[in-house]
Structure 1
Amino acid sequence: MTASEDRDELADQFDQWRHYVQRRPELRRADADELEDHLRGSVDELVAAGLHADEAFLVAVKRMGSLDELSREFAREHSERLWKQLVLTGDTDSPAAASRSRRDLVAMVACAVGAAVSVKVPELFGVDLEDDPAFYAPNIGLFALPWLAAFLAWRRRAARPVIGVLLALFALGAVAANAYPLAEDSQSLVLSAIHLPIALWFVVGLAYVSDDLRSPRRRMDFVRFTGEWFVYYVLIALGGGVLVLFTTGTFKAIGISSETLVGQWLVPCGGVAAAVVAGWLVEAKQSVVENIAPVLTRLFTPLFTAVLLGFLVTFAFAGGGIDVEREALIMFDLLLVVVLGLLLYSISARDPLGPPVLFDKLQLALVVSALAIDVLVLLEVLGRISEYGTTPNKAAALGENVLLLANLVWSAWLLFRLVRGRAPFAALERWQISYLPVFAGWAWVVVLVFPPVFGYL
Structure 2
Amino acid sequence: MTLDSDSDLEGQIAQWRAYTRRRRELHHADTEELEDHLRSRITELTEAGLRTDEAFLIAVKRMGSLDELSREFAREHSERLWKQLVLPGEPDAPVAARTRRELPVMVLCAALAALAIKVPSWFGLDLADEDTAFYARNLSLFALPALAAYFAWQRRVGVRVVGALAALFALGAVAANAYPLAGDSQSFGLTAIHLPLALWLVVGVAYVGGDWRSERRRMDFIRFTGEWVIYFSLLALGGGVLTAFTAGTFRAIGIDAEGFISSWLLPCGGMAAVVVSAWLVEAKQSVIENMAPVLTRVFTPLFAATLLAFLVAVAWTTTGIDVERDVLILFDLLLVVVLGLLLYAISARDAVARPGLFDRLQLALVVSALVIDVLVLVAITGRITEWGFSPNKTAALGENIVLLTNLAWSAWLFLGFVRGRTPFARLERWQTRYLAVYAGWAWVVVLAFPLVFDFA
Alignment of 1:6-25 (within 5 A): 13-14=12-13, 17-18=16-17, 22=21
The answer to whether the aligner puts 1:169 opposite 2:168 as a matched pair is: yes
Distance apart, 1:30 and its partner CA = 9.4
Q: Is the 8 A contact 2:157 2:206 kept in 1?
A: yes
Aligned to 1:46: none
CA distance in 2: counterparts of 1:341 and 1:75, whole angstroms: 39
Cα distance change on mapping 1:211 and 1:101 into 2, 3 Å: farther
Letter in 1 for 2:98: R
Find the partner of 1:78 among 66, 85, 96. Answer: 85
Greater mean deviation of Cα atoms: 429-438 or 289-298 = 289-298
Separation in 2, partners of 1:431, 1:381: 27
Q: Residue 421 of structure 1: CA displacement? A: 0.2
* Amino acid paired to 1:78: L
**How many residue pairs were aligned?**
415
Determine the C-alpha separation between the residues in 2 that align with 1:289 and 1:281. 9
Amino acid at match of 1:279: A
TM-score of the superposition, structure 2-length normalised?
Answer: 0.84
Tell me if structure 2 keeps the 8 A contact 1:216–1:433: yes
Could you tell me which residue of structure 2 aligns to residue 88 of structure 1? none
**Residues 260 and 408 of structure 1: CA distance in aligned 2, closer, same or farther (over 3 Å):** same
Answer whether contact 1:308 1:370 (CA < 8 A) is retained.
yes
1:318-359 CA-to-partner distances (Å, cap 9, x unmatched) read 112211111111110110011111110000000011111111
Maintained 8 Å contact 2:205/2:211: no
Aligned to 1:412: 411
1:451 is aligned to 2:450? yes
- From 118, 121, 140, the equivalent of 1:120 is 118
TM-aligned CA deviation for residue 23 of structure 1 = 9.4
Aligned partner of residue 412 in structure 1, secondary structure: helix
**Residue in 1 aligned with 2:287?**
288
Give the Å deviation of 1:10: 7.4
Q: Give the equivalent residue in structure 2 for 1:71.
A: none
**Are residue 358 (structure 1) and residue 371 (structure 2) matched?**
no
Taking only the aligned residue pairs, the percentage that are identical comes to 62
1:103-143 CA distances to partner (integer Å, 9 max, x unpaired)? 21011001000001100000011111123110111211110
Query: Is the CA contact 1:339–1:366 (under 8 Å) kept in the aligned structure 2?
Result: yes
Aligned residue for 2:223?
Answer: 224
Kindly indicate whether residue 329 of structure 2 is the aligned counterpart of residue 335 of structure 1.
no
Question: Could you tell me which residue of structure 2 aligns to residue 67 of structure 1?
Answer: none
Q: Indicate conservation of the 8 Å contact 1:22/1:32, yes or no.
A: no
TM-superposition CA deviations, 1:251-271 (whole Å, max 9, x none): 100111111110000000000
Q: Distance in 1 between matches of 2:208 and 2:409?
A: 26
Equivalence for 2:48: none
Q: Does 1:310 align with 2:309?
A: yes
Matching of residue 152 in structure 1 with residue 159 in structure 2 = no
In 2, distance between residues paired with 1:101 and 1:28?
A: 20
**Higher mean C-alpha deviation, range 291-300 or range 440-449:** 291-300
Partner of 1:47: none
Residue of structure 1 equivalent to 2:422: 423
Query: Distance between the aligned counterparts of 2:435 and 2:411, measured in 1?
Result: 17
Cα deviations across residues 137-165 of structure 1 (Å, max 9, x unaligned)? 12111101111111011100011100000
- Per-residue deviation at 1:363? 0.7
Note if contact 1:199-1:444 (Cα within 8 Å) is conserved in structure 2: yes
Q: Deviations for 1:364-386, whole angstroms, at most 9, x for unmatched residues?
A: 11010000000000000000000
Report the 3-state secondary structure (helix = DSSP H, G, I; strand = E; otherwise coil) of the residue aligned with 2:88. Answer: helix
**TM-score when normalising by structure 1:** 0.84
SS at match of 2:400: helix
- The structure 1 residue matched to 2:127, chosen from 126, 129, 145, is 129
Q: CA deviation at 1:172?
A: 0.6
Residues 31 and 123 (structure 1 numbering): CA distance in 2 closer, same or farther, change over 3 Å?
A: closer
Change (3 A) 1:13 1:202: same
Q: Does 1:194 align with 2:193?
A: yes
Indicate how the Cα distance of structure 1 residues 400 and 182 shifts in structure 2: closer, same or farther if over 3 A, else same.
same
Matched-pair contact (CA < 8 Å) for 1:118–1:143: yes
Which residue of the partner structure matches residue 322 of structure 1? 321
Residue identity matched to 1:113 = A
Are the structure 2 counterparts of residues 284 and 17 from structure 1 closer, same or farther at C-alpha, using a change threshold of 3 Å? farther
Which amino acid in 2 is paired with 1:200?
L
The alpha-carbon distance between structure 1 residues 207 and 32, as it changes in their structure 2 partners (threshold 3 A), is closer
Map 1:430-449 → 2, pairs under 5 A:
430-449=429-448
Q: 1:176 to 1:202 in 2, by over 3 A?
A: same
Do the aligned partners of residues 77 and 139 (structure 1) sit closer, same or farther apart at CA in structure 2, a change above 3 Å counting? closer
Alpha carbons 1:21, 1:27 under 8 Å: kept: no
Worse overlay, 12-21 or 305-314: 12-21
Cα distance in 2 between the residues matched to 1:424 and 1:122: 52
Letter in 2 for 1:126: G
Native 8 Å contact 1:149 1:207 kept in 2: yes
Alignment match, 1:396: 395
Give distance in 2, aligned partners of 1:227 and 1:344: 9
SS in 1 for 2:87: helix
- The answer to whether the 8 Å contact 1:20/1:351 transfers is no
* Cα separation, 1, equivalents of 2:266 and 2:295: 28
CA RMSD of aligned residues (A): 3.0
Query: Is the Cα–Cα contact under 8 Å of residues 104 and 155 in structure 1 kept in the other structure?
Result: yes
Residue 108 (structure 1) aligns with: 106
Q: Which amino acid aligns with 2:189?
A: V
Change (3 A) 1:22 1:268: farther
In the alignment, structure 1 residue 274 sits paired with structure 2 residue 281: no
Q: 8 Å contact 2:11–2:425 — kept in the other structure? A: no
What do residues 25-45 of structure 1 show as CA deviations (whole Å, max 9, x unaligned)? x76629977xx99xx9xxxxx
SS in structure 2 at match of 1:78: helix
Is this contact kept in 1: 2:138–2:173, CA < 8 A?
A: yes
The residue number in structure 2 matching 1:69 is: none
Asked if the contact 1:361–1:419 (Cα under 8 Å) also holds between the matched residues in 2, the reply is yes
